[in-house]
A = this chain, B = another copy of it.
Amino acid sequence: MNIGIVGLGLIGGSIGLDLRSRGCDVFGVSSRQQTCDRAQARGVVNDASIHLSLMAAADVVFICTPLGSIEPIVRDLVPHLSPNTIVTDVGSVKTPIVQAVSSLWPNFVGGHPMAGTAESGIDAAVPDLFVGRPYVLTPQPQTPAAAVDRVEEIARLLGASVYRCSPLDHDRAVAWISHLPLVASATLVAAGVREGDRDIVNLAQHLASSGFRDTSRVGGGNPELGVMVAKYNREELLRSLSIYRDCLDEFISDIAAENWQALEHKLKLTQQARQNYKL
């Protein structure tokens, strides 16, 4: 099988490493020649180019660029593809991507491999990044079944656990487990910045430990990435934020009213509910 990868970063590079080692021929495109050279040197691809024409030989093309570049790249890519080529992406929001790209290329399967590390770029690519991780496919009713099956087959080749759902269900689920946590976590750090007493800020900065570290981690991440998910998953994020805000108000009410029984009841439910997540 000939695999094309556009965007040779952590995800694209790791897909290339794995699929080559499992017998595929892998062709990569990056906008930077330096990245193409590095990808070849690292054995991520058989061949790499800054020109999308290299994708002509691919049976399946993975678009592994940031969310904002997926649609324009597919637009440029289409003239180079043969009619049977399957295109898939790895974007972390699906509804707007699937909508836009399917109209450009009907043989498109939205995908989201849920794996990563703190690093980025071609040098961050590692083998077996997707083993045991969820890989969500978001076909629409009109998506060709053979295309979905083919992408699923590759995701399994990567060792991932495949889930299929609608783009909307995907976006709603990741709003809960990924995008809402990001905003709740960022708000925690932003609130601390409002503390006006320097002595207390200084003390807090020295006393902070694992609880604060873990709760603030995703909120202290890449700002561009945060904006991107808010932009692309705006409606579902706002929906989860509105529910979050209601729940927050109820916690505040219980504490203000010294309703300790209600607070304990809530915290018990929370403790139980968290155990339902496969963490």
**Which residues of A approach B to under 8 Å, CB–CB?**
114, 133-134, 136, 163, 165, 169-170, 172-174, 176-178, 180-195, 197, 199-200, 203-209, 211-224, 226-227, 230-231, 234, 237-238, 240-252, 255-256, 258, 260, 263-264, 266-271, 273-279
How many protomers of this protein does the assembly include? 2
Decide if A221 touches B184 in the complex (CB within 8 Å). no
Decide if A189 touches B274 in the complex (CB within 8 Å). yes
19 A-B pairs with C-beta separation under 8 A: A136-B207, A165-B203, A169-B197, A177-B209, A181-B211, A183-B251, A184-B215, A187-B248, A190-B266, A191-B247, A194-B243, A194-B247, A208-B278, A213-B279, A215-B215, A223-B268, A227-B263, A245-B245, A248-B248
Shortest distance from the beta carbon of A262 to any chain B beta carbon, whole Å: 10
From A240, which residue of chain B is reached at the shortest CB distance? Answer: B191
Residues on B with C-beta less than 8 A from A183 are 248, 251, 255
Decide if B260 touches A231 in the complex (CB within 8 Å). yes
Bound Cα distance A212, B268 (Å): 18
Which of B211, B213, B227, B264 meets A267, CB within 8 Å? B227
Residues on B with C-beta less than 8 A from A269 are 190, 193
Which of B189, B214, B267 meets A270, CB within 8 Å? B189
